C-alpha cells in the first residue's frame, strides 16, 4: 500500500485532517505513514473521535467489549497550532510515564518513539488490549448496527458470528403477582427474580433458593415488605439526624458539635445506586476509591481573560499559583517542609507569621500531597457552575512559564468532559462550591451517576452490557402507594427509564439530586386480594405494572391419611366463592406442608376456621355452610351446634326463628372430614 493509499484511510470523515494534509511536508507525511503502519502491523486500531484537538486515536476500539475504555487508548494524533503531532495516553501503560510530557512532531524521532513503546510493552499490550484480530483503519470500523445482535464486519474478520455481546438495554419489568392468600405469591417471587437476573431457574426448590440467596448476597436482589407505616422517606430518601463529628470545607475536615439533618437513601434509592454502579463497570472511568476535588482555573490578574483555563485544557494539566516555590523535592511530602519553604520565600509577604492553615501553604500541600493519581478534579466556573472534569494522571511538577509566571504548580490531567460555558454545579454536587481555589469534596454528596453521564457524553465509549437487578416488594398494597412512591409512579414506567426514548429525571426534594431509574432494575410486587380490592390500585399502578393472577391450585395437593386435600380445597373454595367472592378463596399453600392427619387438623383449627370467621364477620351460619356443617339436625365434622333456648323474661317465647350456638370441636373430639366438607 502506497503512502497515498494509506492516507486515504485517514482523510475520509476527518475534515480537519484533510485541511492540514496539503500543508504537511514530505518528511511529515512519510513519518506519519510509517507510524500508521507500525501501529497497524502491531494489531492496533486507528479510529476517529469527536474530541477537541484530536485527529485520531490508536489502541483498541472494540465498541462491544464491556471492558473497552480509556485504558485501551494507547495514544493520539492531534493538532497543536495547526500542526499534527504524536502524543500518548500516559495512564494506559507504565512505560508511557517517560513520555507523559512528550509531544512529538512528525519526524524520525516520533517513529523511533512509537517503535520503542510497542517493543517494550508487547506483553502488557497483548494482555490489556486483547489483540485477537488484525488492526483496523479508521474507515474500516463498522458503525453500531440498529440490531445490536446482528454480526458486524468486525465479527466477520474474527470468524465469529456471536462475538458481539448484546449491550442493548432491555425493557424493565414491573410485575405484580396478585391473588388470594396462600396461593404462593411470595414463594413465586424467588423464581421470577432469578429469571429476571438472567440465571437459569432450577426445578429443585433447594437449588433455586441457593441461587436466589447468592444473588441476594451479591446485592442484585433486594426484598422489602410494605406496611401502613412505611413512608416516602423510608423508600426513596428522607432527612435523618446525623451527629457532627467533622465538617468538610475549604480548610479540610474540622471538628464540630451537635447534629444536622442529612439526606439518607431509602430502600429503593439504595438498589438504584447499586444498579447504576453496575452501569459504570467497564466504562472508561471507574470511581471506586477515587477522591474528588474542586479546583479553580480562573486567572488571578483581575481580567476576564480565560487563558489559564484554556491553556490547561489544551495542555492537559491542572495548575495553581500560591508561591513561586519548587516543591518537587521528596522532603516536601511533609507539610511542615512546605510551610518552612514558603516562609523562607516570604510568600504573601508574611514571613515567619505565615501559618499552616494559610492558603499559601494549604493549597500547595493539597495539590502536591493530597491529590493522588486517578483522583477526579472538577473545575469550577464561579461558585454555581462547573466547566470541566478531569482525572489526574501525573505526579506534582514545577513548571514556570513566561505566559503564566504565577502558575508554577502542575499535575498532568486527562480531561474527560469540558464545557467552557459551564453547567449548574447542583447537578453533580448539591452543596455547591465555595470560593476557595482547591479543596476536597465530600464524596457522599457527589452525584456519581450524573457525573458519569456528563463524562460519557464526550467519551468515545459505548454502553457496556449491564447486569439486571430486582427489587421484590411483598404486600405492595399494604402501604399508601401514592405516599410511598411519590415521583416513582412516573419514573418506573419502562419507556421513562434512563436510556429510553422518553427518559425522565426529577430533582429529589431532600438531597436536590437529579434522579432517574435505570432500565436494568426490575420490580416485582405481591398483592393479597383478600386484604384490599385490586380496583383500588388500578389508577396508581395498573398502567405501570403488569398483573399476573395466582389462584389456588388444588392439583398440587394429594391425599394424606385418607383425606383428599385437593377435593377438600376445591369444595371449600366453591362455597366461599358462592357465599362471598373469588378474591377470598383459600390458597393451596395452607395445606401443602401437611404430612399427617394431625397437621391437617392443626391447619383447619388454627388457620382456616379463624380466617373464615374474619371473612364472614363471625357469621357462623355461613362459616358452617362453608365447612359443610350447616345441617343442624346431625353431628357436624368441624363445629358443634347447640340450639339456644329463649331466655326467660324477654317475652319472646314462640316468636322468631330458632337460634344456634356454634363452637369449634375440641382437640379431644377431633374433626370428622367425612361428616363435614367431604361428606358424600
Residue 145 clears pLDDT 50, i.e. is over it: no
Q: Considering the chain, what percentage of its residues have pLDDT values greater than 90?
A: 32
Reduced to 3 DSSP states, what percent helix, strand and coil does the chain have, rounded to the nearest 5? Answer: 35, 20, 40
Residue 554 clears pLDDT 90, i.e. is over it: yes
Q: Which residues of 524-549 are buried (b: 16+ CB within 10 A; e: fewer)?
A: bbbbbbbeeebeebeeebeebbebee
C-alpha cell at 604: 383447619
Model confidence band, residue 656 (pLDDT cutoffs 50, 70, 90):
low
Judge contact between 381 and 297, C-beta under 8 A. Answer: no
C-alpha cell at 148: 445490536
pLDDT digits 0-9 by tens, 78-119: 777 667 888 877 656 666 656 655 678 888 888 888 888 887
Could you give the residue range(s) of every CATH 3.10.590 domain in the chain? 292-458
Span 623-631, average pLDDT? 91
Regarding pTM above 0.85, the answer is: no
Largest Cα–Cα distance in the chain?
127
142 or 231, higher pLDDT: 231
Span 394-400, average pLDDT? 89
Span 69-77, average pLDDT? 68
Residues in the chain: 680
Range with the largest mean pLDDT of 440-449, 594-603, 652-661: 594-603
Model confidence band, residue 474 (pLDDT cutoffs 50, 70, 90):
very high
CATH of the domain spanning 292-458, picked from 1.10.10, 3.10.590, 3.90.550, 1.10.3470: 3.10.590
> In 3D, which of 280, 649, 202 has the Cα closest to residue 456?
280
Question: Alpha-carbon torsion 673, 676, 677, 680, what sign?
Answer: positive
What's the rounded Cα separation, in Å, for the pair 75 and 52?
15
Residue 124 is predicted with a pLDDT of 66
Q: Which residues of 386-407 are buried (b: 16+ CB within 10 A; e: fewer)?
A: bbbbbbbbbebbeeeeeebebb
Residue 233 is predicted with a pLDDT of 92
Judge contact between 281 and 377, C-beta under 8 A. Answer: no
The Cβ of residue 264 has, within 10 Å, a number of other Cβ atoms equal to: 17
Taking CA atoms, 104 is separated from 32, 259, 391, in Å, by 11, 56, 23
Per-residue HEC secondary structure of 215-284 comes to HHHCCCEEEEECCCCCCHHHHCEEEEEEECCEEEECCEEEECCCEEEEEEECHHHHHHHHHHHHHHCCCC
Per-residue HEC secondary structure of 126-187 comes to HHHHCCCCCCCCCCCCCCCCCCCCCCCHHHHHHCCCCCCCCCCCCCCCEEEEEECCCCCHHH
Residue 105 is predicted with a pLDDT of 83
Span 240-258, average pLDDT? 61
Residue 189 is predicted with a pLDDT of 95
Helix (H) or strand (E) holding 455: helix 448-458
pLDDT digits 0-9 by tens, 424-473: 998 899 888 988 899 999 988 888 878 877 887 776 544 445 789 999 99
| Cross-strand partners of 390 | 377, 415
Span 295-313, average pLDDT? 77
Residue 302 is predicted with a pLDDT of 54
Per-residue HEC secondary structure of 95-111 comes to HHHHHCCCCEECCHHHH
| Mean pLDDT, rounded, of the chain | 80
From first CA to last CA, the distance across the chain in angstroms is 94
Model confidence band, residue 69 (pLDDT cutoffs 50, 70, 90):
very low
- CATH 3.40.50 matches 174-234+465-549: yes
As a whole number of Å, the CA-based R_g of the chain is 36
C-alpha cell at 344: 523562607
Residue 128 is predicted with a pLDDT of 61
Could you give the residue range(s) of every CATH 3.40.50 domain in the chain? 174-234+465-549
What's the rounded Cα separation, in Å, for the pair 156 and 289?
39
Residue 158 is predicted with a pLDDT of 34
| Cross-strand partners of 99 | none
Q: In a 3-state reduction of DSSP, which class is residue 119?
A: helix
134 or 678, higher pLDDT: 678
| Cross-strand partners of 379 | 295, 388
Residue 357 is predicted with a pLDDT of 77
What's the rounded Cα separation, in Å, for the pair 185 and 555?
17
Mean pLDDT lowest for which of 318-332, 450-464, 541-555, 614-628? 450-464
Q: Considering the chain, what percentage of its residues have pLDDT values greater than 70?
A: 79
Per-residue HEC secondary structure of 386-424 comes to EEEEEEECCCCEECCCCCCCCCCEEEEEEEEEEEEEEEE
Judge contact between 588 and 184, C-beta under 8 A. Answer: yes
Range with the largest mean pLDDT of 170-179, 402-411, 572-581: 572-581
Residue 104 is predicted with a pLDDT of 80
Distance of CA 489 to the CA centre of its chain: 19
Amino acid at each position: 500500500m502506497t503512502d497515498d493509499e494509506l492516507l486515504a484511510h485517514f482523510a475520509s470523515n476527518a475534515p480537519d485532517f484533510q485541511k492540514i494534509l496539503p500543508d504537511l511536508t514530505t518528511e511529515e507525511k512519510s513519518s506519519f505513514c510509517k507510524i500508521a503502519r507500525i501501529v497497524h502491523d502491531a494489531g492496533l486500531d486507528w479510529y476517529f473521535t469527536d474530541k477537541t484537538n484530536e485527529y485520531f486515536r490508536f489502541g483498541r476500539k472494540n465498541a462491544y467489549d464491556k471492558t473497552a475504555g480509556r485504558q485501551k487508548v494507547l495514544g493520539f494524533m492531534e493538532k497543536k497550532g495547526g500542526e499534527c503531532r504524536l502524543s500518548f495516553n500516559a495512564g494506559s501503560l507504565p512505560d508511557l510515564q517517560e513520555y507523559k510530557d512528550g509531544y512529538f512532531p512528525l519526524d524520525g524521532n516520533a517513529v523511533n518513539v512509537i517503535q520503542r513503546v510497542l517493543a517494550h510493552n508487547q506483553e502488557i499490550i497483548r494482555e490489556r488490549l486483547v489483540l485477537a484480530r488484525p488492526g483496523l483503519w479508521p474507515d474500516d470500523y463498522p458503525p453500531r448496527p440498529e440490531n445490536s445482535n446482528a454480526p458486524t464486519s468486525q465479527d466477520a474478520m474474527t470468524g465469529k458470528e456471536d462475538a458481539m455481546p448484546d449491550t442493548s438495554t432491555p425493557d424493565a419489568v414491573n410485575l405484580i403477582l396478585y391473588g388470594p392468600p396462600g396461593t404462593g405469591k411470595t414463594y413465586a417471587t424467588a423464581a421470577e427474580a432469578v429469571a429476571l437476573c438472567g440465571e437459569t431457574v432450577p426445578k429443585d426448590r433447594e437449588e433455586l433458593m441457593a441461587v436466589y440467596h447468592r444473588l441476594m448476597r451479591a446485592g442484585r436482589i433486594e426484598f422489602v415488605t410494605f406496611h401502613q407505616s412505611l413512608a416516602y422517606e423510608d423508600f426513596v430518601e428522607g432527612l435523618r439526624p446525623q451527629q457532627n463529628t467533622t465538617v468538610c470545607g475549604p480548610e479540610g475536615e474540622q471538628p464540630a458539635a451537635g447534629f444536622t439533618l442529612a439526606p439518607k437513601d431509602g430502600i429503593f434509592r439504595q438498589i438504584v445506586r447499586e444498579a447504576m454502579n453496575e452501569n459504570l463497570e467497564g466504562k472508561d472511568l471507574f470511581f471506586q476509591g477515587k477522591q474528588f476535588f474542586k479546583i479553580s482555573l480562573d486567572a488571578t490578574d483581575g481580567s476576564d481573560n480565560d487563558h489559564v483555563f484554556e491553556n490547561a485544557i489544551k495542555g492537559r494539566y491542572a495548575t495553581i499559583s500560591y508561591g513561586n516555590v519548587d516543591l518537587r523535592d521528596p522532603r516536601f511530602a511533609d507539610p511542615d517542609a512546605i510551610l518552612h519553604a514558603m516562609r523562607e520565600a516570604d510568600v504573601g509577604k508574611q514571613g515567619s507569621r505565615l501559618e499552616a492553615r494559610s492558603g499559601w501553604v494549604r493549597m500547595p500541600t493539597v495539590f502536591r500531597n493530597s491529590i493522588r493519581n486517578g483522583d477526579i478534579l472538577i473545575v469550577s466556573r464561579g461558585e454555581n457552575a462547573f466547566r470541566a472534569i478531569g482525572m489526574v494522571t501525573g505526579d506534582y511538577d514545577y513548571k514556570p512559564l513566561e505566559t503564566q509566571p504565577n502558575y508554577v504548580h502542575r499535575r498532568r490531567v486527562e480531561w474527560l468532559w469540558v464545557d467552557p460555558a459551564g453547567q449548574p454545579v447542583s447537578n453533580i454536587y448539591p452543596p455547591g462550591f465555595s470560593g476557595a481555589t482547591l479543596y476536597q469534596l465530600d464524596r457522599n454528596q457527589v452525584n456519581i451517576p450524573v457525573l458519569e453521564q456528563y463524562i460519557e457524553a464526550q467519551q468515545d465509549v459505548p454502553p457496556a452490557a449491564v447486569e439486571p437487578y430486582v427489587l421484590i416488594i411483598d404486600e405492595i398494597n399494604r402501604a399508601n402507594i401514592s405516599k410511598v412512591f411519590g415521583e416513582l409512579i412516573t419514573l418506573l414506567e419502562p419507556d421513562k427509564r434512563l436510556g429510553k426514548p422518553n427518559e425522565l429525571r426529577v430533582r429529589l426534594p431532600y438531597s436536590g439530586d437529579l434522579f432517574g431509574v435505570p432500565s436494568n432494575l426490575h420490580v416485582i410486587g405481591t398483592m393479597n386480594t383478600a386484604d384490599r380490592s385490586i380496583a383500588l390500585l388500578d389508577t396508581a399502578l395498573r398502567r405501570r405494572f403488569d398483573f399476573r393472577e395466582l389462584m389456588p391450585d388444588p392439583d398440587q395437593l394429594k391425599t394424606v391419611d385418607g383425606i383428599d386435600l385437593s377435593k377438600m380445597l376445591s369444595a371449600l373454595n366453591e362455597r366461599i366463592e358462592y357465599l362471598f367472592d373469588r378474591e377470598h378463596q383459600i390458597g393451596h399453600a395452607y395445606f401443602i406442608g401437611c404430612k399427617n392427619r394431625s397437621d391437617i387438623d392443626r391447619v383447619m383449627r388454627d388457620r382456616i376456621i379463624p380466617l373464615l370467621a374474619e371473612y364472614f364477620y363471625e357469621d357462623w351460619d355461613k362459616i358452617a355452610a362453608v365447612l359443610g356443617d350447616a345441617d343442624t339436625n346431625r353431628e357436624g365434622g368441624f363445629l358443634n351446634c347447640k340450639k339456644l333456648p329463649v331466655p326467660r323474661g324477654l317475652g319472646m317465647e314462640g316468636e322468631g326463628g330458632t337460634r344456634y350456638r356454634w363452637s369449634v370441636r375440641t382437640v379431644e373430639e377431633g374433626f370428622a372430614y367425612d361428616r363435614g366438607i367431604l361428606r358424600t
